[in-house]
Chain A
């Protein structure tokens, strides 16, 4: 592969916006790095890329990248992005969300964006907890795990983000972790290129809350946990591990494409 002309730091708003708001050892920055490398590998221009986020630690990501960026409201980044994508179908619109943002308050929008199969790239940074508000339980907190609002352990079952996306109709679903940064670059790039709704779930480390409350050690220990408890080759390895890689990849017509056809057909029919 040819080395893209633009250096990586060109995608950052370096002059103004660093240091970041994130804690030392947070995984969100790794996801940001992977996104930039994916955009660079695809040789996209900064003008054609939009990054839309909701609210949360993950929601702060767009400040740092030199794209067209928009920090919206908690849970609603996908419908904002839907409007933008329909207005500017030529743009690559990616949406970054935390697990609470995407699956609790934004759960309804998530399944409907997938059902519509709208041409957006949704990147869900899943740290299994609410980071921004102080470690409360999230819809992806595993059964039994601790959170500041689940001091005796979570008694609800966790959502499987990838399965929801698949059942709701997304074209592309993949999973990786902050330990597997290079794999993540490629999955994000494939998601951006894919026609239709693509979801990339990234298991991420929040040492401040999830790690501390569940005695997982520091950021490095959490990354090691991702290394040891996930697999990209589920067939060959003993089960019980979390599966990484491309989970769904199917050719379905996206919403923007369907709408374009509908417009053409309605014009032909004429009348009032």
Chain B
């Protein structure tokens, strides 16, 4: 053995032992029982209704970019929920454990989480929220929307797309299982050297962290390659770069970042693994290691990563604002330039995450100025959205509210970012809850944009709108929660409260922590409102059906095909005449032209290989974490063999004949006509094909 393993090791089970299962933990043990019961019920229901074949054929083996996107979004929402629970636990610990006289339970001196558990909770919270909630949600939307917006039938590499999804799912599963088997990392979502070395983190937590991150990085890189190739090669005839929908530009810039930055993370993690598994000394304090190198490598990825997640969110906002302002996006070209500028500059600023490391003033000022440069294109974007509303006709439905909320949060996050960018200010608030409040403002921009997009694109994917009343209720509750949690957090930052305190030593901070706890309760209500929103919308879905153009004022290509989008997207690939093609066709009265005849089209086959490979990567990650070497070898070999076999077989795909296509299309048109009819017979409560009526209905429902 190259490194000493405290706690023993066996050839069969590696470091795994009964003592690693927290069956005596008063929080985890009941949770585990609940999860098992829940799983049994779900599996039982699937079996009872005989849905296994449906699931396997329609979802688990699919290569349809829309279904994969939906599954990405489901993973993202589930992880968002998990991350939220972590957040709730963090806030509850901090509001409880204030001052030397606060009580303690479950083995803690103060509060209910010991440092051992508290560290795991906030580390998991950060990692999950950024990489397993925000990232899959955004990748999911890019997956669904990008091909339709550019008039393609699928991604450039449908099988790779499925593989990316299942590897991401494996990562999510790995971090979830760390709840019940062993422990997770303790030292924050970015860990840091040398505290993640074996001497200071002897458990398996850091190993879980390494392999979870490696899997996410792999999955996201594969996804990035795919989206880039799709945008570059699969655009419909006539769609020159100047006519690319703005969300596609945003996805392009984001994935350029992903493709170039994730490898840096993977290398860094590889070196961490070398330290922990092979006894190397890349990042140790002694023996020639350089711990600052890790910090640099991590943020060389870490900063571009935050722009990788914000750029698609900007793209979403740039779609929502014009639709509900009934006007083209202001300054399309500057918007594109701004995205590209952000992507470029995001490479030059990583050092602002550690101004306090003691680099000289020349280094710090260089990175400070570079960081502030990012503020320029970001500011441009905000102005452009404002001028998109200018001279518009604004409808404040729920999707628009989320987008506007995102805009205001961006102003706050941008303002505080510009404060942090100046070393003379940063020295005072770095590592404090002020930073935490800054990046939550920014990440909430993403969350707001995502909820706006869920509302905005839901009818496209599922064919009916979500309930406006509950969507708005959720929005206002969520926003109240945001204000109640993050305003006090900024104030605490100015009071000097540092981050990651398991025990809060200053009793003067108690009132602010109380307000934040109340804010979390309000957030919880908004989560409830979200569940009600889903329930009510599905219950009433027949009433809320929509036609191709769900909003009546939509602009880009995805609104030209049916809702829900057929699996082949477009029966006949459209020719693109204008930047906002649908708006242009509507204006010229040719939005209802039907193709004269249909030709055969070629589609990719489903494959079970992707999910099996995903499963194997999970096994590999688990075996590596626990150092079960035989299992590592077996799963790795299986992965390699399966990949080679699949690459020789390839996928010939299959043909849908023109006649069959025509039948399906006519079916869809009939459905749309019915929606229109039902609208005429029930003018008030009925669903409508997108037209101006839809807005009046929304307004009166307030």
> A and B bound?
no
**A residues within 8 Å of B by Cβ?**
none
Which residues of B line the A interface, CB within 8 A?
Answer: none
